[in-house]
Structure formats: C-alpha cells, structure tokens
Amino acid sequence: MTAYRLNNIEAGHNGFSLTIDDWTVEPGSMVAVVGPNGAGKTTLLNVLAFMEKPKRGTLSFRSRPVDYSSPRSLLALRRNIAYLAQNPCLFNMSVRRNIEYGLRLRGVPRNIIGEQVKQILEELEMTELEHRNVRELSGGEVQLVALARTFVLHSSVLLLDEPTGNVDKARIGIVERRLAEMNESDGVTVIFTTHSEVQARRMADSRIHITAGRVAVN
Amino acid sequence: MDMLSEGLSGALRLLLGFDPDFTAIVAVSVLVAFTSTSLAALTAVPVGVLIAQRRFPGRGGVIAVLNTLMSLPTVVVGLLVYSMLSRNGLFGSLGLLYTRTAMVIGQWILAFPIVAALTVATMEGLDTRVHSTAISLGASPMQAFLRLLSEARFGIVAAVVAGFGRVFAEVGVSMMLGGNIKTYTRSITTAIALETNRGEFALGLALGIVLLTVALLVNILLALLKRRTP
C-alpha cells in the first residue's frame, strides 16, 4: 500500500499550473519538497492535504482514489492527516485551546487531550506559553504553537509547509529531532517543503525538486 | 455649575431614594431597549453574517444601504411606524400605537442596520485564513463556520452594544410611538424632554446622568468580558 500516488496531476489557479506525471510516496518515508518561492510547493501540499482539487489527474491516498464529490469522504481524509500551512493562522484564544482544537474535532476524550497537550508542550520546550493568548506571541512562537497543534494530532501523515520558517535557530534542532522521532519510531509519513537544500539532505530520505510548476523526483 | 451640582445631588437622591416614578422611567427604558436590541441581535447578526459570507448581485448596494441606514433619523422612523400603526394605518387595527410594543418595533428598526452593518464589517475584517485553517485541521464546513463566528465574537458583541447605545439614547421613536405615558411608556429620554420643558432642569440632568451611567456599565461589562476570555 502506498501513502500517496499522484498520476498525471495538474493543479493551481490564477494562471499558475503545477504538473506531476507520476509520483508515489511510500508509508513511513520522509520526503523533502525543495524549490524557490512560487515554484508550486504550497500548491502540492494543498493537493496532498485535500484542500485543493486537481484540475485533472488522479490522487490516491492509501491506494484508494480520492472522491472529491463527497464532502464527508474529504472530511474523513483530512482527519487522517495533519497539515501545517505556510504562515500559519492561530485562532484568537489561548495557546492551549489552539493546540486542543484538532483533537476536539476528532472527539478525543478531555482527559487524553489534557495529557497530550502537556506532552507536546514539554517536547517542544514551550510549557511557559500554555496559557498565553496568541496575540502576545512572537512570530517564532506562533510557528511553534502551529507545529504543536499539528504534531499533537498523532496522524500517520504529516504535511508541513516550511515547518522551521520563523523558528529560532536554537529550536530548529528540537523540531527536527521530534520530526525524526515521529518518522522513525512511529512510522509517520512526513512530507515537508523547504528552501534549504541542506535541510532537505539532513532530514529527508528522498527529495523532489519543483521549478516553475514542474516536478523532478530524485 | 449650580445646575450641574444640583443635577448630581438630584440624581443621587433619586437613585438612593428608589423614587417609584423615577424607577418606572428607568425600568421602561431598560426593558424596551433590551427587548429591541435582543430582537435586532437575533435578526441582524444572521443577516450580517450571510451578507459577509455570500457573493450575490447587488451585494455592494445592500451594504451601502445598511451603512446609510445607520444614521437613520429617529423621528423619520417614528413617523413611518406611526403612519402604519395609527388608526388609519396598515396595522392600525392591532392597536399598538402608544404601547411599549410600538416603541420596541421602532427601536428594532433603528438598531437593525447598525448591528447588521457592523457585523458585516467584523466578518469581512477577519483573517481570511481562519476558515481554511479550521478545515485543514479537520473541521466540517459547519464547524469551520462556527470557528469564524467565534473569532468574530468581540466584534459582534460590540455591534450589539452599539445598537443598544443607539436605542437607549434615542428620543424620537419613544416620543412618537410611546406617547410618553407615565409609568407605561415614559422612558429616560422622553422624561428628560418633558422635565426640561417644565423647567425642571435638575431632574432632567439627573436622568441624563443615569442614562450615561447605564451606557458606561454596559461598556465596562463588555471590557470585562473581553479581558476574561482567553
């Protein structure tokens, strides 16, 4: 069973088009999507997160084609993955409530939510932020909270658009280590975008390069 | 200065003495304004949210009309509703003229565009990423919509408070549709107009102070609510 299979995909809007002839992502792999600004990295992640319907082609998730005509099926698929958008948006409430949000949507019992939020705050060394309102956070802290909100879902697939963008150097190591642990110990499939070839080589076991909407698989 | 100090001491005397006429005037104002604002909140907030969320032909025109109606003169509303509720009017048979219900109807018309237009502005001012972020985290369309509403909560409450402020302080509708009947439709503003005509400036000022105090209390409550919410 594959995690994703993209076949003859074309996606994008406002005159921009991303095309992928054939690409497969194996479960438990760590894939870096590398490319300059505007190349189509975010479009690709939006397609993989079922947030954007391709104009043509077939996207399969866990070897089953995605049914875009069924909102219920799309909702179920989105709850199987965890997606961190570029420039993430936090809701106007406390850090803790933000992190809890996805778990609440998935009907996780309250006591388990409490434990998991505490655990992720400790893992990312940000326990002091728990009760702060997001309006009081710096750009780097916003990114960390958004990462925590994504990691806490314990999904089998993590899609991260520039996960360490805005994060200060001291904490980049913490985030990368946590990602590596989830990938190696829990078998989580991780697909992340980055500008940095160095970061891609350091973290990923495979890389794809996007240039002006064309994908080259290494 | 004498008039002001007399007004202040008069206000204190009336407030601490629980004068029945004075209490009735304040009660009528609060009751009618609260009812009309609640009706406006129940009707105008959904309309405002709908206008903000949907794209339809003439949408810009609807928003422009709502914005214009925010400064609707109270006497014009009073006159229009009066013509409909008077004996020969469209709804004359209902016998609503000079009742609190008539005041509520008039005040609802005043508050509706304020609450609706400010709700539209609030919803349109929200971060456009809220909805897509909620969806990406696994929210259904309804859950994402509720998240949007929650993000807009302070703006919507402020819209309702602005509506309350408008109707609580208006005089035209209350005078024309309520008729200033003692202990029944006499509100703070109509009582101020009456007492000023009679030359009772101190009582008028005392009622004005009560009016401002209620407005201040509502705003303090709003500020506390905002501070308490994480």
> What pLDDT is stored for residue B165 in this prediction?
92
Question: Least CA distance to A130: which residue of chain B?
Answer: B230
C-beta neighbour count of A48 within 10 angstroms: 21
Q: Tens place of pLDDT for every residue, chain A, 218 residues?
A: 899 999 999 999 888 899 999 999 999 999 999 999 888 999 999 999 999 999 999 999 999 999 999 999 999 999 999 999 999 999 999 999 999 999 999 999 999 999 999 999 999 999 999 999 999 999 999 999 999 999 999 999 999 999 998 888 888 999 999 999 999 999 999 999 998 899 999 999 999 999 988 887 76
Chain A interface disruption, residue of B136, B148, B153, B226, most A CBs within 10 A: B136
DSSP-derived secondary structure letter, B51? H
DSSP string, chain A: --SEEEEEEEE--TT--EEEEEEEE-TT-EEEEE--TTSSHHHHHHHHTTSS--SEEEEEETTEE--TT-HHHHHHHHTTEEEE-SS----SSBHHHHHHHHHHHTT--HHHHHHHHHHHHHHTT-GGGTTSBGGG--HHHHHHHHHHHHHTT--SEEEEESTTTT--HHHHHHHHHHHHHHHHHS--EEEEEES-HHHHHHH-SEEEEEETTEEEE-
Determine contact, residues A161/A210, Cβ cutoff 8 Å.
no
- H or E segment at B200? none
For residue B228, the chain A residues in CB contact (below 8 A) are: none
In A, minimum Cα distance to B127 occurs at A89
3-state secondary structure of B42: helix
Smallest CA–CA distance from A80 into chain B, residue: B138
Domain positions in chain A:
4-217
Q: What is the distance between the alpha carbons of residues A82 and A71, in angstroms, rounded to a whole number?
A: 18
Structural domain contains residue B9: no
- Chain A window 30-59: which residues touch B at a Cβ cutoff of 8 Å? 49, 51
pLDDT at B223: 82
- Please report the number of interchain residue pairs, chain A to chain B, with beta-carbon separation below 8 angstroms: 50
Q: Name the more confident of A47 and B199.
A: A47
Q: Does A106 touch chain B (CB under 8 A)?
A: yes
Tell me, what's the pLDDT at B93?
94
B76 min Cα distance to partner chain A (Å): 40
Which CATH number fits the domain that encloses residue B78? 1.10.3720.10
d(CA A105, CA B137): 8
Residue B16 in any domain: the answer is: no
Neighbours of B42 (CB within 10 A): 12
Residue B5 belongs to some domain of the structure: no
- Mark yes or no for CB contact B137/A149 under 8 Å: yes
d(CA A3, CA A130): 34
Q: Is the Cβ–Cβ distance between B96 and B85 less than 8 Å?
A: yes
Q: Is the pLDDT of residue B29 over 70?
A: yes
Q: Which residues of B touch A106 (CB under 8 A)?
A: 138
DSSP string, B86-120: STTSTTGGG--TTSHHHHHHHHHHHHHHHHHHHHH
> Out of A78, A91, A93, whose CB is closest to B136?
A78
- pLDDT tops 80 at residue B226: no
List CB contacts (< 8 A) between B229 and chain A: 93
Fold classification of A4-217 is Rossmann fold (3.40.50)
Cβ-based contacts of A92 with chain B (< 8 Å): 151
pLDDT digits (tens, 9 = 90+) for B186-195: 999 999 999 8
Minimal Cβ distance to B147: which of A85, A91, A133? A91
> Do residue A89 and residue B127 have CB atoms under 8 angstroms apart?
yes
Q: What is the pLDDT of residues B125-147, one digit of tens each?
A: 999 999 999 999 999 999 999 99
Mean pLDDT, rounded, of chain B: 91
Inter-chain CB proximity A91 and B141 less than 8 Å: no
| Domain membership of residue B92 as a residue range | 28-201
pLDDT at position A175: 94
Whether pLDDT at B230 is above 50: no
Structural domain count, chain B: 1
Within an 8 Å CB–CB cutoff, is residue B230 touching chain A?
yes
On whether residue B104 sits in a domain, the answer given is: yes
B8 has a chain A CB within 8 A of its CB: no
Please state which of the ranges A142-151, B9-18, B153-162 shows the lowest mean pLDDT.
Answer: B9-18
pLDDT at site B229:
54
pLDDT reported for residue B161: 92
Through-space distance between the first and last CA atoms of chain B, rounded to whole angstroms: 45
User: The dihedral of CA A142, A143, A146, A147: what is its sign?
Assistant: negative
* B132 contact A CB<8A: yes
Chain position carrying tokens 């505007």: A38
DSSP B177: I
Tens-digit pLDDT profile for residues B65-122: 999 999 999 999 999 999 999 999 999 999 999 999 999 999 999 999 999 999 999 9
Residue with tokens 């909140």: B41
